[in-house]
Chains A and B, each alone.
Chain A
Amino acid sequence: MNWRGVWAIYKFEMHRFRRTLWTGLAVPVITTSLYFVVFGSAIGGRMTEIGGVPYGAFIVPGLMMLSLFTESIFNGSFGIHMPRFTGTIYEILSAPLSAFETVLGYVGAAATKGLTVALVILATAHLFVPLTIEHPVLMLLYLALVALTFCMFGFIIGVWAKGFEQLQVIPLLIVTPLTFLGGAFYSIDMLPPTWRQITLFNPVVYLINGFRWTFFGTADVAFGTALVATFAFALACLAGIWWIFRTGYRLKA
C-alpha cells in the first residue's frame, strides 16, 4: 500500500476544502435554520406528530441526508473532475498508486467533508428542536456508509462529466427531486396508496428511512431492507469505479 500517496491526495483535497471552510460550513447552518423557520415553525405547528415523533425532529434525518447527498456528490465529483479539467491528472496516473488507493484518497476526503456538514446540520437542528438519538453508533456508521457511497457515485459522475455543467445534471435533476419525493419531509404513509406504491421504487426512500430508524427506532421501511438497499447501491458504485479503472474510461486514452 502506498499510504503516503493516499494521504497526499487526502490532504490536498482537505486543503481545498479549508480554503472555502467558512462558506462551506455557513451554507448548511443557514440552510438548516431556514428549513426550521419554514417547516418547523410555520408549517410544523400545524402538523401532528408522525409515528410518535414531533414534526420538527422528524425532518432532521431527511435534512441531513439531503445535504449529505448533495455535498458528497459535489465533492466526490469535483475532486476528480478538476485534475481532469486542468490536466494535472497526469501526475495521479503516473504515480505508483493503485485504483483503490487513488479512490480512497479522493472519496475519503469528500466523505470527511460530507460527514462534517451532516454533523453540523445535526448540531444546528439541535438548537431548534429537542432530539434524542436511539442508536447513535448505528447512526454514525450508517451516515458514514451513505457518505462513502455517494462520494463514490460522485467520483463516477466526475469521471463521466465532460464539463462543469454536466457535474450538476445528475444531482440537480435526479438526486434532489428523488430526495424531496423520498420522504425527507413527510412519511410515505401520508400518501394515497397508489403514490405510496410508486414511491417505494425511489431508492432514496430506503436511505432516508434507514437513517431515520437509527434516530427514532421507527420508520416507513424496515431497517434491514434499508440497509440491504444502501449496500446494494454502494456495491453498484464500487462496480462502476472498478470498471472505470479497468477500462481507463475517460481517464486514460
Chain B
Amino acid sequence: MNEPILSIRGLRKAYKSGTEALKAVDLDIHRGEIFALLGPNGAGKTTLISIVCGIVTATDGVVLVDGRNWRDDYRHARTRIGLVPQELTTDAFEPVLNTVSFSRELFGKPKNSAYVEQILRDLTLWDKRHTIMKELSGGMKRRVMIAKALAHEPDILFLDEPTAGVDVELRKDMWALVRRLRERGVTIILTTHYIEEAEEMADRVGIIRLGELILVEEKNALMQKLGRKELHLELAEPLTAVPAVLDEWDLKLNDGGTHLTYTFDGKAERTGIPSLLAAMRDLGIGFKDLETKTSSLEDIFVDLIHGGRIA
C-alpha cells in the first residue's frame, strides 16, 4: 500500500515553437492524500494535469497509475482518474442530470441512478437537475463540472483551480466536499492560486515555476519553516556595523543602518529577544519602534517564484 498511487517520472512537454512547458518533472502522489500544486499562471500546472489525463501528449517521460503505464494501459488509468478542468466548458443545452449521466456512461460505468442522485445532492444540484446548463450561474456550472468528474467513481481526482472565481461560501463548500472525498479514500490533486487553500486543505504542497517543480514538501514541515519570525527594530541612531558582541543573534543591518532584523523560531521556548534587547541596552543602542512578523506561505511562495529557494 506504500506504493504511490501516481508516479510521474521525467515528464516533459516541449512545443514546436520551442517553448518548454514542463521540464522533466518527477512527482509521486501518495494514496489518499490531498496534494496542492501551487504556481503562477503559465507555470505548467495545467499542462502537467492535462498530460496525466490524456488531453496533452507528453514529449518525454512516463506516468504510472498504480504502477501501470498510463499510455499502454490507458483504459485502467483513465477509469481511475477524474478531472475537473479550469475552464467552465459545458454543453449549453443539456440538462444537469443528462450531462452527469453522460459522463458516467462515457467512462463505461453501468447506470446507477442512486449514485448520481447522491453526487447531485452532495453538490446541492439535485433541485437543478432538469435545468439546462446555459441557465446556470458560474458557481453552479463549477459544481456540475465536479459532479461530471465524480460520476464514474474515480479514486484519483484532479481539480484544476477549483475555486477560481468562486464566492466565499461556495469555496467553503468545495473544501468540505474535498475533505469528504478524501475520507472516502479519494486521492486529490488540486492546483490553486490561493495559498490559504493549500494551507487549509493540503497534506503536501508542490511549487511549480517555469515548468519546474522546485519544491515538494509536507505542509506541516513547510509550516515549520514558515514558523520563522522576524523582529524588526527601527534604531534611534543609525549604525555603521553590527557590534561584534551581538554576533550570536546573527543580526542584519538594513536601510542604511537604520533597521536591525533578527530572525528567530517563533515556536521555540526561548526566542532570544529579551537577552538581545538587554545586550542592546548595555551597548546603549536605542530604538524607536519594533515589530515582529511571521513569514507566511505566501512570502515563501512569492520568494520562490521569483527565483529564491528554500534552504
Q: Contact residues of A with B, CB < 8 Å?
A: 2, 4-5, 7-9, 11-12, 15, 19, 86-88, 90-97, 248, 252-253
Contact = CB atoms under 8 A, between A and B. Distances in A.
A11 B57 CA distance: 28
Task: Kindly state the interface size class of chain B when it binds its partner.
Answer: 20 to 34
B75 A96 contact: yes
A2 B87 contact: no
Contact of A97 (B90, B102, B106): B106
Contacts of A5: 105-108
Contacts of A7: 105
Interface string B52-74: 01111100000000000000001
Contacts of A92: 106
Interface stretch (B78-86, B193-201, B208-216, B241-249): B78-86
Contacts of B93: 19
Contacts of B78: 94-96
Interface in B93-115: 93, 98, 102-103, 105-110
B11 to A, nearest CB: 14
A162 B171 CA distance: 36
Main secondary structure of the interface of A (DSSP, over half): helix
B53 A94 contact: yes
Given A5-B106, A96-B74, A96-B108, 4 more contacts: A4-B108, A95-B107, A96-B77, A253-B56
Contacts of A8: 102, 105-106
Contact of A86 (B76, B89, B110): B89
A93 B89 contact: no
A7 B55 CA distance: 21
Contacts of A2: 75, 107-108
A248 B108 contact: no
B148 interface: yes
